[in-house]
Structure 1
Amino acid sequence: MLDTVQTEAIANRFFAAVEAGDLDAVVAMYAPDVRIWHSRDEADTDIEQSKELLQLFFSRVSNRRYEVVRRHVFDGGFVQEHVTHGTMADGSAMRLPVCFLCHLDATGRITRIAEYLDSSKSPLRGVVQHQAAAL
């Protein structure tokens, strides 16, 4: 079982990798059978689909930064409220409040993510999961 310090470190490492646009570092944190769910499309995705969406997010949003509002560690993961900030391709500012639920296995690998957000503010608004690779 992971302790609070270990879980906090995993959370910090995950969000730092996303901020940096380091797809390999993000994927390395996933368990092989990870499932990622997003409220914007209510789709359960696997690693390959997650990589497609992350690449699309990285291409559409620069200067990514997570403002952590609060984080609660529980046995087997954490839940975090944060605001995702960034710059859209047209130069406009993005501000996206998110609730992020993350489950971890005993080794600290991510087994499940559920991400809740207002889809009208999402830089991936209108993207259906199976269309992500084509965009």
Structure 2
Amino acid sequence: MNHTDMNTVADSFFAAVEAGDIAAIKSMYDPDIRIWHSRDEANTDMAQSMELLSMFFDRVSDRKYEVRARHFYEGGFMQEHVVHGSMQDGSKLNLPVCFVCSLSPAGKILRIAEYCDSAKSPLKGVAQHDA
């Protein structure tokens, strides 16, 4: 994939997350997707990812991704962003994240590694999965 196509995948993915569109996100995933999060160091599959995203959408409204940088590499992209949103208790979420995404040749999301400062994350209650 060229950078333009990868940029389109990235923009579409984060727009779907902002909108809370589980069906759109699922359609972008490769069936063999694996997602790793620094907060729990677990590798999750598609079903677990859908569960975690549903919980995230329930707990955080007004989601917005402030992209600070996006870099492309052969087969994927890396993005630095800040996730903004409103928590159920009215507090604000402002979480810096480094997101690394590998894409299949067909342009499906094959692997995600998401790094965030767990000390700054108010999302500690989101489900944990065993590796």
Superposed CA offset, 1:14-46 (max 9, x none): 000000000110111000000000000000000
Q: Describe the SS at the equivalent of 2:124.
A: coil
Query: Whole-Å Cα distance in 1 between the matches of residues 126 and 93 of structure 2?
Result: 17
Structure 2 contact 56–126 (Cα < 8 Å) conserved: no
Match of 2:76 in 1: 77
Quick one: distance in 1 between partners of 2:30 and 2:124? 27
Contact 2:44/2:129 (CA < 8 Å) preserved in 1? no
Q: Does 1:43 align with 2:37?
A: no
The Cα of 1:92 is off from its aligned counterpart by 1.1
After superposition, the CA RMSD in angstroms is 1.3
User: Which residue does 2:111 correspond to in 1?
Assistant: 112
1:45-72: per-residue Cα shift (whole Å, max 9, x none)?
Answer: 0000001100000000000000000000
Match of 1:14 in 2: 13
Q: Which moved more, 1:115-124 or 1:100-109?
A: 115-124
Separation in structure 1 between the aligned mates of residue 97 and residue 129 of structure 2, nearest angstrom: 22
- What amino acid is aligned across from residue 115 of structure 1 in structure 2? E
Alignment size in residue pairs: 130
Q: Which runs of 4+ in 1 moved over 2 A?
A: 120-124, 126-131
Q: Can you list the C-alpha shifts for 1:69-92, whole angstroms capped at 9, x where unaligned?
A: 000011100000000000001111
Aligned pair 1:121/2:116, yes or no? no
Instruction: Give TM-score, length-normalised by structure 1.
Output: 0.92
> How does 1:21-100 map onto structure 2 within 5 Å?
21-100=20-99
Paired AA for residue 99 in structure 2: F
1:127, 1:20 → 2: CA distance? Answer: 19
Distance in 2 of aligned mates of 1:33 and 1:62: 29
- Does the CA-based 8 Å contact 2:101-2:112 persist in structure 1? yes
Instruction: Give secondary structure in 2 for the equivalent of 1:52.
Output: helix
Where in structure 2 are there 5+ consecutive unaligned residues? none
Cα offset, 1:126, TM superposition: 4.1
